[in-house]
């Protein structure tokens, strides 16, 4: 199989600044959630993706509204990038009536079809055959939209992963499988669950390309995604992009992650995707102190407003349980 060609791309300074804004917003959203959990204010399990933001920004940036994403528990940022307002997302985490599911679920299983977001099921890997099914619809209807499905390296050991990728490969479907390889599936390190180094290699068994990249480099993720999108839209089938990264917090906010060392965490923190990108933008004169301040002010006020909105929104009533039902 010929190796995937590097895709050329050009982003205007405003687009690069926009990427910077999204990285900061998604980081701030998760950081605030982490605090709110400790204050007992959030009624959901919280699985932050702090440290992994470059994957969401690099894959979602510039997607069409009609393209579908299939996010997982750690991908709240993808909801924001696909168009869910931060205040609505925050209300969702507070299980308020103003949230996506109006307080009906544990926050992580909602979808928004008009924004191209397919809600996930709890079973790991189960979103991948679904993503292939969505992509099959696009193919059958001859629409050049694409599906992006996220999963962890842990999920790549589950049967559904293999069935989903096999089906997508056989039918050459317009789907991009994005592995967020953050080195641990809950407490299980990758070397205890996989006998190979790269999840990307698994794609070859299903007849399409897989590429392993630095998932903390937003431009590398963007570049790989643009190539995969072009192939998918052009009828050339699926791609697997494995993004090597690390989650800074535990599996969820109740997990203190004693199974890993401080040294390991410090090493990955030194590869924080945000300062790396900041340095790049400063070197290119896209960013200066004033612009950083401006972005940070906007981010803080957006998050403050979202929390305020969520806290002041009404709780669902018992009667609400019998509305919006399908028979
Ligand atoms: C089939 C299945 N097995 C176990 C679980 C429980 N579980 C939920 S998340 C998780 C770890 C997932 O690890 P990974 O797929 O690497 O994604 P990450 O959480 O690291 O982003 C586990 C074991 C589940 N939801 N589904």
Q: Whose CA is nearest to atom 3 of ligand 1?
A: 124
Q: Can you tell me which atom of ligand 1 is nearest the CA of 151?
A: 15
Q: Can you tell me which atom of ligand 1 is nearest the CA of 123?
A: 26
* Mutation to probe ligand 1, out of 30, 74, 121, 155 (largest number of atoms < 8 A from CB): 155
| pLDDT exceeds 80 at position 95 | yes
What is the average pLDDT score of the chain?
A: 96
Going from the Cα of 143 to the center of ligand 1, the distance in angstroms, rounded, reads: 33
- Which of the residues are catalytic? 247, 251, 259
Mean pLDDT of 166-194: 98
pLDDT bucket at 226, cuts 50 / 70 / 90: very high
Percent of the chain with pLDDT over 70: 98
d(CA 241, CA 65): 21
* Mutation to probe ligand 1, out of 71, 160, 185 (largest number of atoms < 8 A from CB): 185
pLDDT bucket at 106, cuts 50 / 70 / 90: confident
3-state per-residue secondary structure call for the chain: CCCCCCCCCCCCHHHHHHHHHHHHHHHHHHHHHHHHHHCCCCCCCCCCCCCCHHHHHHHHCCCCCCCEEECCCCCHHHHHHCCCCHHHHHHHHCCCCCCCCCCCCCCCCCCEHHHCECCCCCCCCCHHHHHHHHHHHHHHCCCCCCEEEEEECCHHHCHHHHHHHHHHHHCCCCEEEEEEECCEECCEEHHHCCCCCCHHHHHHHHCCEEEEEECCCHHHHHHHHHHHHHHHHCCCCCEEEEEECCCCCCCCCCCCCCCCCHHHHHHHHCCCHHHHHHHHHHHCCCCCHHHHHHHHHHHHHHHHHHHHHHHHCCCCCHHHHHCCCCC
Going from the Cα of 125 to the center of ligand 1, the distance in angstroms, rounded, reads: 9
| pLDDT exceeds 90 at position 326 | no
Q: Can you tell me which atom of ligand 1 is nearest the CA of 47?
A: 19
Going from the Cα of 49 to the center of ligand 1, the distance in angstroms, rounded, reads: 14
Give the CA-trace dihedral at 65, 71, 76, 77, to 10 degrees: -50
Q: Can you tell me which atom of ligand 1 is nearest the CA of 125?
A: 1
Q: Give me Rg for the CA atoms of the chain.
A: 19
Q: Whose CA is nearest to atom 17 of ligand 1?
A: 152
- Cα–Cα distances (Å) from 224 to 214, 220, 221, in that order, read 10, 6, 5
pLDDT bucket at 167, cuts 50 / 70 / 90: very high
Going from the Cα of 85 to the center of ligand 1, the distance in angstroms, rounded, reads: 27
Going from the Cα of 222 to the center of ligand 1, the distance in angstroms, rounded, reads: 25
Q: Are strands 188-189 and 184-185 parallel, antiparallel or unpaired?
A: antiparallel
pLDDT bucket at 87, cuts 50 / 70 / 90: very high
pLDDT tens digits, one per residue of 116-163: 999 998 999 999 999 999 999 999 999 999 999 999 999 999 999 999
Q: What does the pLDDT read at residue 107?
A: 80
Going from the Cα of 153 to the center of ligand 1, the distance in angstroms, rounded, reads: 9
pLDDT bucket at 2, cuts 50 / 70 / 90: low
d(CA 119, CA 75): 11
Q: Per this entry, what is the length of the chain?
A: 327
pLDDT bucket at 64, cuts 50 / 70 / 90: very high
Q: What does the pLDDT read at residue 104?
A: 87
pLDDT bucket at 1, cuts 50 / 70 / 90: low
Q: Can you tell me which atom of ligand 1 is nearest the CA of 155?
A: 15
Q: Which residues form the pocket of ligand 1, taking CB atoms under 6 Å from any ligand atom?
A: 74, 122-124, 152-155, 158, 180, 182, 184-186, 251
Show Cβ contacts of residue 262 under 8 Å, excluding neighbours closer than 6 positions.
none
pLDDT bucket at 4, cuts 50 / 70 / 90: low
* Mutation to probe ligand 1, out of 158, 179, 186, 253 (largest number of atoms < 8 A from CB): 186
Q: What does the pLDDT read at residue 139?
A: 98
Mean pLDDT of 297-315: 98
């Amino acid at each position: 199989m010929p190796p995937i060609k590097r895709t050329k791309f050009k982003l205007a300074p405003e687009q690069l600044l926009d990427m910077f804004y999204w990285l900061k917003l998604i980081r701030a959203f998760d950081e605030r959630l982490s605090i709110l959990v400790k204050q007992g204010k959030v009624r959901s399990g919280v699985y932050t993706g702090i440290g992994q933001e470059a994957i969401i920004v690099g894959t979602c940036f510039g997607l069409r509204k009609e393209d579908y994403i299939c996010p997982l528990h750690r991908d709240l940022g993808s909801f924001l990038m696909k168009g869910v307002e931060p205040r609505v997302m925050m209300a969702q985490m507070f299980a308020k009536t103003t949230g996506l599911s109006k307080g009906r679920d544990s926050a992580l299983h909602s979808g928004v079809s008009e924004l191209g977001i397919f809600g996930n099921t709890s079973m790991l890997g189960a979103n991948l055959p679904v993503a292939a099914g969505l992509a099959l619809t696009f193919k059958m209807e001859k629409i050049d939209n694409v599906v992006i499905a996220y999963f962890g390296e842990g999920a790549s050991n589950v049967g559904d992963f293999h069935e989903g990728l096999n089906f997508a490969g056989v039918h050459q479907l317009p789907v991009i499988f994005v592995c967020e390889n953050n080195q641990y599936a809950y407490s299980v390190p990758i070397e205890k669950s996989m006998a190979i180094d790269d999840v990307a290699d698994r794609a070859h068994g299903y007849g399409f390309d897989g590429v392993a990249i630095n998932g903390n480099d937003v431009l590398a993720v963007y570049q790989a995604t643009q190539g995969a999108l072009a192939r998918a839209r052009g009828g050339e089938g699926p791609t697997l992009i494995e993004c090597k990264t690390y989650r800074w917090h535990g599996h969820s906010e109740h997990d203190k992650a004693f199974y890993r060392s401080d040294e390991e965490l410090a090493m990955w923190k030194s590869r924080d995707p945000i300062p790396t990108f900041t340095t790049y933008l400063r070197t290119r004169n896209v960013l200066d102190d004033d612009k950083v301040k401006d972005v940070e002010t906007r981010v803080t006020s957006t998050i403050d407003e979202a929390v305020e909105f969520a806290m002041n929104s009404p709780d669902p009533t018992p009667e609400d349980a019998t509305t919006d039902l399908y028979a």
